[in-house]
Structure 1
């Protein structure tokens, strides 16, 4: 891994990082020969740009203009599965700091000791996780909007008039978001770059704290639990209602059978 990521002379002191959640996954096979880093995949793009591609559907672009970004995303398009339209995006500024340590100012630029590839990978990892969380938070909010009419009907009328298919769809949406959080992106896992550079643990910890990754995951999981419990409750109510209807239907059939039996007995006696 090269000590300095960019080739510009004099060395760059300020770059923009642009994280884009383009889809559910990205196929990175075939880029290995041009890679600056294998895991995650990092490529040199354009005049002096770098693209970090995460398999779970995020691209983080450093020091690239709009034309270079558009050209790279167009090149990546056939490799994207479950494309998001519009994509979720987040930007940050990375600045070279003439001090011994890395600094992450609240709401400000990310100050780094040097523009090494390892530091950029740490920054890109956090930005990628943050942009995925932003997408999942939006999806959870949509599920809450779907739940609200069910709960409101139940609270005001003591019953609701929605079918079981709608409830099952609701449960499916909740499980899908939960899968994205727990399976597609391991938010709690540290970036692979830290295995080779444990000295960057502090930078990662500061970025993780600045973007509130752990807190956001915990909040998301609590919301998913509420969604799951609410959906289960509504499904149980529907099952109870269907069971009651079935019992009423059985009683009616028995009653009809009794009436028919009495009629046959009456008809038989009338025939004599």
Structure 2
């Protein structure tokens, strides 16, 4: 009869220092890869720590409290943990992915790594989605003011910060989350590749990535357009000041002539 285990994912930051973690690991290390450290607190319990700032707990009690203890390894800590709960049923006739759980035939650390990878990417993308939505709401207010009052109530420095944020998000998606790449362990195993594909489809990672990418492009285009308006206004003001100074100089010159 299949046995069901809990698996819980948390986004705790924009990155995680795995090198520092490995110098003095909080639990025994079961496996390590370039962007992943697998810890084994005991028995059939595992913690998957990803370099892009996500943690996944398999069959671990008090997982939220344990997740909090990993904040010391995180970069740009997220104030409120983003969480995703799922289940793994082990001992099925075939591997299958459903809305509530993933079913696998037998215990396999490679399969757990694949499942954990998708869950970790999902919570990290959710954090990015939240940041992008916050920025979009800011632009909505800016554009409403521009439409109603014909006034641009935003500073150039704020727009530059927004552009910096979107560039950092793009870098995180492409270089750290590797949403467009499959884990190396899938290349030599059609079974693992199929399981990974079904998990990605369940969590709609490709669609969510494209949606985030589209919104980021929109934010960047808006930022550049508004920056252009600000620069034009500043140029116009500078031209007015220069003309005014020239006029003052002419007036003073004429005044001196007729004294």
The TM-score, its normalising length taken from structure 2, stands at 0.90
State the Cα distance separating 1:236 from its structure 2 match. Answer: 0.3
SS in structure 1 at match of 2:181: coil
Indicate the residue corresponding to 2:252 in structure 1.
260
Query: 1:32/1:18 Cα in 2 relative to 1: closer, same or farther (>3 Å)?
Result: closer
What is the alpha-carbon distance in structure 2 between the residues aligned to residue 215 and residue 103 of structure 1?
21
Residues 164 and 235 in structure 1, CA contact (< 8 A), matched pair in contact too = yes
What is the alpha-carbon distance in structure 2 between the residues aligned to residue 94 and residue 178 of structure 1?
31
With 21-30 and 251-260 compared, the bigger mean Cα shift is at: 21-30
Residues 11 and 123 in structure 2, CA contact (< 8 A), matched pair in contact too = yes
Indicate the residue corresponding to 2:194 in structure 1.
202
What is the alpha-carbon distance in structure 2 between the residues aligned to residue 44 and residue 117 of structure 1?
11
SS in structure 2 at match of 1:219: helix
What is the alpha-carbon distance in structure 2 between the residues aligned to residue 13 and residue 252 of structure 1?
82
Structure number with the higher strand fraction is: 2
State the Cα distance separating 1:193 from its structure 2 match. Answer: 2.7
Indicate the residue corresponding to 1:65 in structure 2.
61
RMSD: 2.1
* Residue-pair matches, total: 253
- 1:1-12 alignment runs, 5 A limit: none
State whether structure 2 residue 99 is matched by structure 1 residue 103: no
State whether structure 2 residue 45 is matched by structure 1 residue 49: yes
Indicate the residue corresponding to 2:11 in structure 1.
21
Query: 1:204/1:139 Cα in 2 relative to 1: closer, same or farther (>3 Å)?
Result: same
- 1:71-90 alignment runs, 5 A limit: 71=66, 73-74=68-69, 76-90=70-84
Indicate the residue corresponding to 1:212 in structure 2.
204
What is the alpha-carbon distance in structure 2 between the residues aligned to residue 148 and residue 52 of structure 1?
38
Indicate the residue corresponding to 2:111 in structure 1.
119
State whether structure 2 residue 241 is matched by structure 1 residue 249: yes
SS in structure 2 at match of 1:20: strand
SS in structure 1 at match of 2:179: coil
What is the alpha-carbon distance in structure 2 between the residues aligned to residue 193 and residue 12 of structure 1?
25
If you compute each CA radius of gyration, which structure gives the higher value, 1 or 2? 1
In the alignment, structure 2 segments of 5+ residues that lack a partner are none
With 182-191 and 113-122 compared, the bigger mean Cα shift is at: 182-191
Residues 146 and 170 in structure 1, CA contact (< 8 A), matched pair in contact too = no
The TM-score, its normalising length taken from structure 1, stands at 0.86
